[in-house]
Amino acid sequence: MLAVSPRRRSNVSQQPVDPDEVSDALGEELVRIARKSVEYYFENRALMPTPQGLDPLLLRPGAAFVTIETYEGEARSLRGCIGFIEPIKPLVRSVIEVAVEAAFNDPRFMPMERSELDSVTFEVSILSKLEEAPRTPEGRKAFVTIGRDGLVVERGFYRGLLLPEVPVENMWDVETFLSETCIKAGLWPDCWYDEKVKVYRFRTAAWLEEKPKGRVVRRNLVEEYRKALEARGLLTQST
């Protein structure tokens, strides 16, 4: 997933949206809006206007990522993922804009073609504010919980982010998660041992389509991680 830098900051002064404030109904609405945003762009080659009659919460500043995956049976593969780390625009505008960025401007992939719309799923993640970790390796390991936290690693101009979904889907432990985020930032794998490197955590709430244009559900990443560990015999049901 990539974080985009906005061209300008919003002048909205309301309190940023916290993931815990977003109901499942609003989460589903944001996923539908993400898909509609890409469909609208195919038709008009312009960003979709903000829908009318939205819940006021969606008009408050909010940080969001949109993940698009190619869906093949039960298997999924990344098709694009881009977002805003900071709540610099109304939440709904963030989703509308980063959905288009994920579909057409993720540098890891070719721009999406219209024919793909029926074979991809959309996922929206709402981010909390960043919390800086302690500067010691032990403090940083204790600061992170797999399934709850995403990570940002930063040193100077180098910055990398991984959403909470990533360590769950890859079955990483905390040390691996920290190291992979360092690599994502373009730094050395054990950069998180260096007190000059800043490490931040953040929480998310995430909703995704179970299949293309299908039912939207909230992800329980802690439970996904537990089940994955059990499936591999790394965690007993009584643990």
- pLDDT single digits (tens) 212-231: 999 999 999 999 999 988 98
| Per-position DSSP letters for 93-159, written without gaps between them | HHHHHHHHHHHH--TTSPPP-GGGGGGEEEEEEEE---EEPPSSHHHHHHH--TTTEEEEEEETTEE
Q: How confident is the model at residue 147 (pLDDT cuts 50, 70, 90)?
A: very high
* Residue bearing the bigger pLDDT, 35 or 3: 35
- pLDDT single digits (tens) 153-187: 999 999 999 999 999 999 999 999 999 999 999 99
> Looking at the whole model, is its pTM more than 0.85?
yes
Measured CA distances, 113 to 23, 30, 109 (Å)? 32, 22, 11
Q: Report how far residue 60's alpha carbon sits from residue 48's, in angstroms, rounded to the nearest whole number.
A: 18
Tell me what pLDDT residue 232 has.
85
Specify the residue for token string 């994955």: 228
Tell me what pLDDT residue 4 has.
59
134's tokens: 């302690």
For 15, counting Cβ atoms within 10 Å of its Cβ (0-12 exposed, 13-18 middle, 19+ buried), the class is: exposed
Residues contacting residue 83 through CB under 8 Å, at least 6 positions apart: 1, 2, 3, 4, 63, 64, 65, 66, 94, 98, 102, 125, 127
- pLDDT single digits (tens) 69-94: 999 877 899 999 999 999 999 999 99
Tell me what pLDDT residue 81 has.
97
- pLDDT single digits (tens) 190-205: 999 999 999 999 999 9
- What domains, with CATH codes, occur in the chain? 12-129 (3.30.700.20), 131-201 (3.30.1490.150)
Give percent helix, percent strand, percent coil of the chain, each to the nearest 5: 35, 25, 40
- % of the chain at pLDDT higher than 90: 87
